[in-house]
Amino acid sequence: MGIIFPILTGLLLLYADFQSGKKLKKNVHGQFSLKLNRSYKWVGIVCCLIGSFLLNAAISHWNKELAVFAPIAVSMFFGMGIIILVWYYNYQLVFDDRRIISTNWRRKKRTIEWTDIENIKFNATSGYLKLYTKLQKIVVLQHSTGFVEFLRA
The per-residue pLDDT for range 73-103, each reduced to its tens digit, is 899 999 999 999 999 999 999 998 899 999 9
| Helix or strand (DSSP H, E) at 64 | none
Q: Long-range contacts made by residues 11-19, C-beta under 8 angstroms, separation at least 24?
A: 12/39, 12/43, 15/39, 16/143, 17/143, 19/143, 19/145, 19/146
Alpha-carbon 31 to chain mean position? 21
Q: Which amino acid, residue 112?
A: I
Name the band, by pLDDT with cuts 50, 70 and 90, for residue 121.
Answer: very high
Instruction: Using CA atoms of 24, 28, 31, 32 in order, give the dihedral in degrees to the nearest 10.
Output: -20
CA distance 124 to 140: 12
Q: Write the pLDDT tens digit of every residue in 26-65.
A: 777 888 888 988 888 988 999 999 999 988 988 888 888 7
Strand bridging mode 92-95 / 99-103:
antiparallel
Decide: helix, strand or coil at residue 30. coil
Cβ partners under 8 Å of residue 137, min gap 6: 130, 131
- 153 burial class (0-12, 13-18, 19+ CB within 10 angstroms)? exposed
